[in-house]
């Protein structure tokens, strides 16, 4: 049976010159595992219970297209020379969607290739309980919006993917060095370590202990000569060698850190070393090597940390459904991990499963109600999602109740309340939202989003002078806030100040152009993973 895999993500970019705004287009290419185009392959498309199956042939370049389609869930499959794939689901949920789906048709005799064209053996079988049904076979350049929903939702999902990498475990292993708490005690402790090393400069222990101290108080650059001296005296002490690698990493010397880890791996093929190697490969611009190292770390030790790092790497490089799979497995193994649930919610949001994303983030906040991170994530997806999400408003109400002097808590709860307003807005809702936003800017005079939202509220009431004041405060806090410039321009236009309005519109356009270029550059720097689905069952959701 042929296997089908998805190379690139669906795109929601609107192509007005190529299609009508209310129609869907599904197009792409059929390739073999070597990346070569397959011509004259039969591509079959059907909509569950609605559309009669239709077929088209790939052209000489292996391309196919289905146009003028209604929105819905589609099944896509390909056949050639008697080899027929399983069906792959394509979600076309928004009018005007352009779905770019490049399919891999694996036929007998194909040699699997990696991203640079060298032969590669089949992936090693996984020994932990939840064997993944996918392989990361390479990377591809960003070519279109790699996600679902509006551009706002896409940008939010990309931002949250990066923020997911910074989520910390609730507890971490002790570093083994008892560093005093007070500054006075630390100074005395450091003086003793310096004196000990001065009396025995050729001692492994004195160099190691002072190096460890500097490393664990954040002075990585000072720690390196000492840890390196200790390493040369006794390279078999793995703790010292490992912290030397970490110190190189902390100072940005990723190549030397990687070299140090490689030396350690010769004698100890541990999960920690694979995870650290993955972090370094990512820093050195080799995400394909990074994700394989992190998968191997889970293979050796399916710990919470290793699951989290693997899933985060997949999410960062837009392997959304694969990240969902890994984080689901991680939450099964570690149901009390708040950050695992937060990461799962982020992945589900990136896949446009907004309701389920909200539920997982609410679960994360319930595990540790004092942790602000799940609230911040859920507040951002509530703002970006096209509809209200279940459970979020009540959790954000708890956030404000428990942390009333948190500016962000007040702002996010205000936005959740504002989203459920009727049109025209109920007076009580308006007063509640205004009070929350006012408190947010009172607590933090740089809460730019709250200033902007206050301006929007007053503009909706045609109180343009008040709106202008808040828009100007938002711009003072963040001169690059494009939306504030645009709305300020509209307010000036409403108050018969066309010159000022024109100036703000020009500033808006200039900022938007620069920010769009920056976003595109960032997307091109973060390569998308090329995903091959292994043994995909019929009727599964693909990217």
3-141+530-541: CATH, from 2.60.420.10, 3.40.50.300, 2.70.160.11, 2.60.40.10: 2.60.40.10
pLDDT grade for 526, boundaries at 50, 70 and 90: confident
Q: What percent of the chain has pLDDT over 70?
A: 80
pLDDT grade for 72, boundaries at 50, 70 and 90: confident
Strand partners, 27: 65, 100
Whole-prediction pTM: 0.71
- Token pair recorded at residue 268: 């100890």
Give residue 1's Cα distance to chain centre.
34
Least confident window among 75-84, 326-335, 486-495:
75-84
3-state secondary structure of 100: strand
| Dist. CA 428–CA 144, nearest whole Å | 43
Q: Where is pLDDT greater, at 184 or 439?
A: 439
pLDDT grade for 335, boundaries at 50, 70 and 90: very high
pLDDT grade for 140, boundaries at 50, 70 and 90: confident
| Dist. CA 494–CA 500, nearest whole Å | 11
pLDDT at residue 85, rounded to an integer = 62
Average pLDDT for 267-282 = 93
- What is the residue extent of each domain of the chain? 3-141+530-541, 200-271
Answer whether residue 330 shows pLDDT above 80. Answer: yes
Q: Which of 46-55, 165-174, 224-233, 521-530 has the highest mean pLDDT?
A: 224-233
Measured in degrees and rounded to the nearest 5, phi and psi for residue 28 equal 165, -155
CATH number, domain 200-271: 1.25.40.10
pLDDT at residue 535, rounded to an integer = 52
pLDDT at residue 540, rounded to an integer = 39
Answer whether residue 63 shows pLDDT above 60. Answer: yes
With a CB cutoff of 8 Å and minimum separation 6, the contacts of 109 are: none
pLDDT at residue 356, rounded to an integer = 94
Asked if residues 3 and 106 have their Cβ atoms less than 8 Å apart, the reply is yes
Answer whether residue 106 shows pLDDT above 70. Answer: no
Answer whether residue 301 shows pLDDT above 70. Answer: yes
pLDDT at residue 15, rounded to an integer = 34
Q: Where is pLDDT greater, at 344 or 216?
A: 344
Q: Where is pLDDT greater, at 19 or 513?
A: 513
Strand partners, 28: 64
pLDDT at residue 27, rounded to an integer = 81
pLDDT at residue 349, rounded to an integer = 95
Task: Please provide the average confidence, as pLDDT, over all residues in the chain.
Answer: 83
- Token pair recorded at residue 345: 């919610």
Answer whether residue 536 shows pLDDT above 50. Answer: no
Q: Which of 38-42, 45-49, 295-299 has the highest mean pLDDT?
A: 295-299
* Parallel, antiparallel or unpaired: strands 51-57 and 42-47: antiparallel
pLDDT at residue 49, rounded to an integer = 57
DSSP letter (8 states) at residue 476 = H
Query: Half-sphere exposure (CA, 13 Å, Cβ side) for 297?
Result: 25
pLDDT in tens, 340-367: 999 999 999 999 999 999 999 999 999 9
| Dist. CA 463–CA 455, nearest whole Å | 9
pLDDT at residue 95, rounded to an integer = 63
- Token pair recorded at residue 244: 């030397």
| Dist. CA 83–CA 227, nearest whole Å | 59
pLDDT in tens, 376-418: 999 999 999 988 888 999 999 999 999 999 999 999 999 999 9
pLDDT at residue 361, rounded to an integer = 96
| Dist. CA 52–CA 156, nearest whole Å | 37
pLDDT in tens, 144-200: 444 444 577 888 889 999 999 889 886 554 455 677 778 888 899 999 999 999 999
Q: Where is pLDDT greater, at 509 or 32?
A: 509
pLDDT in tens, 223-246: 999 999 999 999 999 999 999 999
Long-range contacts of 492-501 (CB under 8 A, 24+ apart): 492/468, 494/459, 494/462, 494/464, 495/464, 495/465, 495/468
Asked if residues 467 and 455 have their Cβ atoms less than 8 Å apart, the reply is yes
pLDDT at residue 123, rounded to an integer = 33
Asked if residues 117 and 20 have their Cβ atoms less than 8 Å apart, the reply is no
Q: Where is pLDDT greater, at 20 or 364?
A: 364
Average pLDDT for 502-511 = 96
Q: Where is pLDDT greater, at 207 or 141?
A: 207
pLDDT grade for 291, boundaries at 50, 70 and 90: very high
Q: Cis bond leading into 77, ω under 30°?
A: no
Least confident window among 100-104, 152-156, 280-284, 286-290:
100-104
Answer whether residue 100 shows pLDDT above 80. Answer: no
Asked if residues 95 and 22 have their Cβ atoms less than 8 Å apart, the reply is yes
- Token pair recorded at residue 507: 């500033």
Q: Where is pLDDT greater, at 94 or 432?
A: 432
CA distances from 534 to 58, 101, 131, 260 (A): 23, 17, 11, 34
pLDDT at residue 171, rounded to an integer = 56
């Amino acid at each position: 049976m042929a296997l089908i895999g998805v190379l690139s993500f669906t795109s929601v970019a609107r192509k007005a010159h190529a299609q009508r705004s209310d129609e869907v287009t599904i197009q792409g290419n059929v390739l073999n595992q070597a990346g070569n185009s397959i011509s004259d392959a039969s591509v079959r498309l059907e909509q569950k219970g609605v559309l009669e199956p239709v077929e088209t042939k790939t052209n000489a370049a292996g391309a196919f297209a289905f146009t003028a389609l209604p929105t819905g869930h589609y099944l896509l499959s390909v056949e050639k020379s008697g080899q027929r794939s399983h069906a792959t689901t394509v979600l076309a949920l928004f009018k005007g969607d352009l779905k770019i789906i490049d399919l891999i048709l694996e036929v007998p005799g194909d040699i699997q290739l990696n991203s640079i064209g060298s032969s590669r053996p089949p992936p090693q079988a996984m020994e932990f309980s939840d064997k993944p049904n996918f392989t990361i076979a390479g990377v591809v350049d960003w070519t279109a919006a790699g996600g679902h929903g509006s551009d706002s939702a896409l940008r939010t999902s990309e931002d949250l993917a990066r923020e997911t990498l910074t989520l910390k475990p609730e507890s971490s292993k002790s570093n083994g060095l008892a560093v005093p708490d007070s500054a006075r005690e630390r100074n005395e402790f450091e003086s003793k370590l310096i004196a000990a090393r001065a009396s025995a400069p050729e001692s492994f222990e004195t160099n190691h202990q002072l190096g460890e101290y500097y490393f664990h108080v954040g002075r990585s650059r000072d720690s390196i000569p000492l840890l390196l001296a200790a390493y040369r005296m006794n390279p078999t002490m793995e703790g010292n060698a490992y912290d030397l690698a970490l110190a190189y990493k902390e100072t940005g010397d990723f190549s030397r850190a990687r070299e140090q880890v490689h030396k350690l791996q010769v004698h100890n093929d541990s999960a920690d070393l694979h995870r650290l190697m993955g972090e370094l490969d990512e820093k050195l611009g080799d995400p394909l090597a990074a994700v394989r190292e992190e998968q191997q770390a889970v293979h050796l030790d399916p710990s919470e940390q290793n699951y989290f790092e693997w899933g985060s790497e997949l999410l960062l490089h837009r392997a959304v459904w694969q990240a969902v799979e890994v984080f689901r497995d991680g939450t099964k193994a570690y149901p009390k991990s708040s950050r695992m649930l937060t990461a799962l919610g982020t992945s589900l949001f990136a896949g446009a499963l907004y309701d389920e994303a909200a539920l997982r983030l609410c679960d994360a906040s319930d595990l540790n109600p004092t942790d602000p991170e799940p609230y911040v994530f859920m507040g951002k997806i509530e703002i970006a999602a096209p509809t209200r999400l279940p459970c979020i408003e009540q959790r954000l109400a708890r956030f404000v109740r428990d942390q009333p002097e948190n500016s962000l808590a007040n702002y996010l709860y205000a936005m959740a309340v504002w989203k459920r307003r009727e049109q025209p807005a109920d007076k009580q809702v308006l007063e509640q939202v205004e009070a929350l936003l006012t408190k947010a800017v009172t607590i933090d005079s740089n809460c730019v989003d709250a200033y902007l939202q206050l301006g929007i509220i007053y503009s909706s009431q045609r109180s343009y002078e008040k709106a202008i004041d808040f828009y100007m405060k938002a711009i003072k806090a963040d001169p690059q806030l494009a939306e504030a410039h645009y709305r300020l321009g509209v307010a000036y236009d409403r108050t018969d100040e066309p010159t000022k309005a024109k100036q703000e519109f020009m500033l808006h356009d200039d900022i938007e152009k620069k920010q769009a270029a920056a976003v595109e550059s960032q997307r091109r720097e973060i390569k998308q993973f090329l995903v091959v689905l292994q043994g995909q069952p019929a009727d599964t959701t693909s990217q």
